[in-house]
Structure 1
Amino acid sequence: MPVDPHAARALQIAPLTVEVERGRLRFFAKAIGETDAQYTDVEVARKHGHRDLPVPPTFFFSVDLERPDPFAYLDDLGVDLRHVLHGEQHFDYHAMAYAGDTLTLEARVLDVTSKRGGSMDVIRKRTDIRRGSERVATATSTIVVRYPKEER
């Protein structure tokens, strides 16, 4: 069943607050194959002008998945996760984030667009990442929901 765009935009997604830890940044850097030592060694990071280990690019995508049920918003919209594809991820960075920071993620559905004669919906979600009142980054994700013929 197609997603109701009005219900999607009105959906309330609870904020998430996380503490950025050094070990977790090191693990993430290793997982993505980052070889620049400023992401794993505090002294190297400081030599590069950082106050601690900087948050590597795309780290915020993994943080948003730490919600107790990161796809609950899709369930609330009646989306069958068996038909979901990750379409796109985009980041706008406004300030550096570091180990030791406490960040708050506030997410909302921006819009839902029906495509291909109703055979799929494209859902865009925006997550604002803040350190206190300072905006650190904005993450925009695109989810594609494909509907089998029998569900249209």
Structure 2
Amino acid sequence: MTEVDRSLIGTSAPPFLVEVERGAIRKFADAIGDDNLLYRDDAFARRHGYEGIVAPPTFPTCFRAPQDPPWIAALDRRRIVAGEMGFHYHRPIVAGMRFECRLQLVGIDDKDGARGAMSLLRQVMSGYRVDNDGVAHECVFAVRRTTVYRSAQQVASRSLA
């Protein structure tokens, strides 16, 4: 497939800010059905050595840029599905943290599936902690994600593979 602009490999979307709120962590834990007290009880989390309630490991999946990155913006949204994700942490995410998130397109792979061709857009979102001075410092996490861009044939046949 040649519809995805390969000249964008290595480019980054504009950075965006995320503030991690206690209530958002609790709602996320509810949504995934996890009743771990680290995600709900500030005193419990502090007794276990954390700065506050901790976000579940997959929490950065809800960090959204205000606009689609350039490599997604021109694509047909009906042909996009989520693929694989992986998470790497340098330290836990806790309530009250603020992040500058940076999203980069690191590669594109073409695959032939049983129902047609697809492009796999490999992206990395890194979260840098923003301190009181408003400057992004340490990298706290990196999320690798693959976005699958299906062929028009796959969409016409209503196939997810």
Interval containing the TM-score (normalised by the shorter chain): 0.7 to 0.9
State the alpha-carbon separation in 1 of the partners of residues 117 and 9 from structure 2: 21
Q: 2:126 aligns with which of 117, 128, 132?
A: 128
1:73, distance to aligned residue in structure 2 (A): 4.0
CA deviation vs aligned residue, 1:49-70 (integer Å, no higher than 9, x gap)? 111111211101111x2x2234
Aligned position for 2:59: 59
- Measured against aligned partners, the alpha-carbon deviations of 1:99-130 in whole angstroms (never above 9, x if no partner) come to 11111110010011122298211101111111
CA distance in 1, matches of 2:140, 2:10: 24
Partner of 2:36 in structure 1? 36
Please state how far the C-alpha of 1:81 moved relative to its aligned partner: 1.0
Q: Which residue of 2 aligns with 1:68?
A: 66
* TM score, norm. by length of structure 2: 0.81
Of residues 81, 92, 97, the one that matches 1:96 is 92
Which residue among 75, 84, 108 is the counterpart of 1:79?
A: 75
Question: What is the alpha-carbon distance in structure 2 between the residues aligned to residue 58 and residue 45 of structure 1?
Answer: 18
**Aligned partners of 1:113 and 1:121 also within 8 Å:** yes
**Preserved CA contact (<8 Å) 1:5 1:113:** no
AA at the equivalent of 1:22 = R
Q: Hey, what's the Cα distance between the residues in 1 that align with 2:69 and 2:102?
A: 14
What residue number does 2:133 align with?
none
Identity across aligned pairs (percent)?
A: 32
**Structure 2: segments with no counterpart, 5+ residues:** 130-135, 154-161
Distance 1:33 1:44 in 2: 19
Unpaired runs of 5+ residues, structure 1, are none
Query: What is the root-mean-square deviation in Å for CA atoms of aligned residues?
Result: 2.2
Segments of 4+ in structure 1 off by > 3 A? Answer: 70-73
Contact 2:123 2:145 in 1 (8 A): yes
Does the CA contact (< 8 Å) of 1:123 and 1:142 recur in 2? yes
